[in-house]
Chains A and B, each alone.
Chain A
Amino acid sequence: MKTAQVIMDTGAHAAALAVKSARVDVVPGYPITPQTSIMEALAAMVENGELHARFIPVEGEHSSMAAAVAASAAGARVFTATSANGLLYMHEVLHMASGGRLPVVMCNVNRGIFAPWTLWADHQDSMAQRDTGWIQYHCSSNQEVFNTILQAFRVAEQINIPVMVNFDGFAISHCLMPLTLPSQEDIDRFLPPYEPEWRLDPAHPSSFSNVTNAPEYAPFRQMLSDDIMASIPLVKQAAQEYKDITGMWDGDTIDTYRLEDAEVVAFAINSMGAELRLSIDILRQQGIKAGLLRPRLYLPFPAEDIITALPQNAQVMVLDRNYNFGHPGGILASELKSVLFGRRNDITVKNRVMGIGGIDLTRQFMAAEIRAMMDE
């Protein structure tokens, strides 16, 4: 390990620094709060020559993802970022990136969706992209954002599937935290240059995403589904090798805290996962055997790791920062129940939706919620 540097920085700027150190070739971008700070930072880095990449300002997020897809198909390492309605506007082209098997990496800075408008964090935006064929990480700290972007490029390029790195607007994107920057030499060792398996090249004309008939189309979709599941060992390997090189660890598919002997398990993603560690300490002080299970990887849903990690007879309190419209409660609870069904009948799952549109989720509030859920 080479000497690392420690600075104070925001989550958005941590993301931009990770993208710079990943040596990306192309960055298409369009501003949307709270993501804008990432694009501002990257545009400045390209402008002042720190980052040797092509910055493409576009007229909207649909074009932003279209430019990302095209640049990736031309063999470039590509990054873009968005939030909320920008992500929804990209929806169609997200499918082109995954179906096209293009290893684009994108940050989505989580923000609630209209109507009415909100600028503040919840997870409806990324959860609404569940079925687009993207791998999705959710991060709990500025450092984890930095680390995960590098791991995301590696996984994406190994299996040719785009990866979305999500983190909460403002709580992460705009708050300063200490940030350890590994040396560029270590990062280059972890993330080698991208070698595409094919690329669009005028010297060797080819066509991309032709029309297919049913017998040809179906195997494409089956292989995408199989490969998304096959990314789980690659996610673990990337986390482990990143740790071996930089000494930093945020968990692999899941992150746990005081889980081994827990009778009550908090289950949540993103910045809630960091704050919940403090809630767990509060509950432990009150004599409750509480623990935390935070999926870092939302898609593919790390079913086996969750099933293995949950202690016997635990009550799992799923704290959803989103709505599963048409069902009571949130999406994470539905996902969790579907993997536990028939596998872990000893587990009780309880669910509350909270923190919608940026309502502050303090350690005291979540500890009290979990306590109340125990009596339900």
Chain B
Amino acid sequence: MKSLTKAYRPISWPTKGAGGDTGSWRTHRPVVDTQICNKCQICWVYCPEAVIDRQEITIDYRYCKGCGVCAVECPTGAISMEMEE
């Protein structure tokens, strides 16, 4: 294939951040209380943006849109939604 470096073509390959810095859309951020979290991974299953690390249960705030699904689904109440500054 020819190089597309300088050409604008409406094609995109699935890579991290291909949709831009979607974290800028967020009004509320999910915060995980590591004292309560038992790492059951339910939040990881439900996260529609795949921004939760499966092992560490940490959130990539560059791409998290702040939808709050993780906080609703968390069975232990370990995730709270906090207003962005």
Q: Which of A206, A210, A213, A219 contacts B8 (CB 8 A)?
A: A219
What is the CA–CA distance of A196 and B7 in the complex, to the nearest angstrom?
13
A198 x B14 contact (CB < 8 A): no
Max count, chain A CB within 10 A of own CB: residue among B2, B10, B19: B10
B4 x A198 contact (CB < 8 A): yes
A48 on interface, CB distance cutoff 8 Å? no
A205 on interface, CB distance cutoff 8 Å? yes
A209 x B7 contact (CB < 8 A): no
A198 x B11 contact (CB < 8 A): yes
B1 x A223 contact (CB < 8 A): no
| Residues in A neighbouring B7, C-beta threshold 8 A | 101, 160, 197, 223
Shortest Cβ gap from A230 to chain B (Å) = 12
A96 to B, closest residue via Cβ: B10
A343 on interface, CB distance cutoff 8 Å? no
B10 to A, closest residue via Cβ: A209
A204 x B8 contact (CB < 8 A): no
| Residues in B neighbouring A219, C-beta threshold 8 A | 8
What is the CA–CA distance of A216 and B2 in the complex, to the nearest angstrom?
22
Max count, chain B CB within 10 A of own CB: residue among A205, A206, A213: A206
B14 to A, closest residue via Cβ: A205
Q: Which of B10, B13, B14, B20 contacts A213 (CB 8 A)?
A: B20
B11 x A206 contact (CB < 8 A): yes
| Residues in B neighbouring A114, C-beta threshold 8 A | none
3 A-B pairs with least C-beta separation: A197-B2, A209-B10, A223-B8
B contacts, CB < 8 Å to A:
1-2, 4, 7-14, 19-20
A contacts, CB < 8 Å to B:
99-101, 160, 195-199, 204-210, 212-213, 216, 219-220, 223-224
Query: Would you list 22 pairs from A and B whose C-beta atoms are within 8 A, ordered by A residue?
Result: A99-B10, A101-B7, A101-B8, A101-B9, A160-B7, A195-B2, A197-B2, A197-B4, A197-B9, A198-B1, A198-B4, A204-B13, A205-B13, A207-B14, A208-B10, A208-B11, A209-B10, A210-B12, A212-B10, A219-B8, A223-B8, A224-B8
| Further contacts, 11 of them, CB under 8 A, given A100-B9, A160-B9, A197-B1 | A99-B10, A100-B10, A101-B9, A195-B2, A197-B9, A205-B13, A207-B12, A207-B14, A208-B11, A210-B12, A220-B8
